[in-house]
Amino acid sequence: MALLSESKAQRVYEYLWRLPSDLDQIPGLQSQIVDLLSRCGFSERDMFAVRLALEEAVANAMKHGNRLLPHKCVEVALGLGEDSVWIRVCDEGEGFDPDQVPDPTAEENLERPSGRGILLMRHFMDHVEYRDRGRTVFMVRRRACSSESNHQAFCAPPVAE
């Protein structure tokens, strides 16, 4: 992981990871990101939402984007601000049209074993946007509760490595 930039004026911290297409990489990434959110005073509800959306996005990027090919990587960027957190996940696949993904809540699709990840991302994040013909997803989650104590707790997150 690398701390990309730090703006003390705006109090925004950005981090970047580059991972091989291996699902076993996901728990370690989640752990680092949840730790950063916790240090910045984000709530349990925020951390659940980000952890879930992150896992769905990265798993989709590795499985459907990169087809689990080990030489293809997934890039994950994280931005931590006082009022929100954003995540950007990019893969090296062919891309896809998110509007063509069948509605998993439709009666005829309820018994399909897959296809619910994007729905969950859209529910748990405040903004989800696909870019670069579906190869990049950008998501934002606003702080569930911006209490004074949370803002006081917002401090420069350490660079783990």
Q: Under the criterion CB under 8 A, does residue 45 sit at the interface with another protein? A: yes
Sign of CA dihedral 137, 145, 81, 157: negative
Pairing of strands 73-80, 12-20: antiparallel
The DSSP 8-state label assigned to residue 127 in this structure reads E
- The amino acid that residue 53 corresponds to is A
Residue 49 tokens read as 């939402």
Q: Under the criterion CB under 8 A, does residue 127 sit at the interface with another protein? A: no
The DSSP 8-state label assigned to residue 157 in this structure reads P
Site for another protein, residues 61 to 80, rule: CB under 8 A: none
Taking CB under 8 A as the binding criterion, the range among 12-20, 45-53, 81-89, 149-157 that sits at the site for another protein is 45-53
Please check whether residue 10 is in contact with residue 21, taking contact to mean a CB–CB distance below 8 angstroms. no
Q: Which of 117, 134, 141, 157 binds another protein (CB under 8 A)?
A: 117
Q: Under the criterion CB under 8 A, does residue 113 sit at the interface with another protein? A: yes
Nearest approach in angstroms of CB 116 to another protein is 4
Q: Contact residues for another protein (CB under 8 A)?
A: 23-24, 26-27, 30, 45, 48-49, 51-52, 55-56, 59, 104-105, 110-117, 119-120, 123
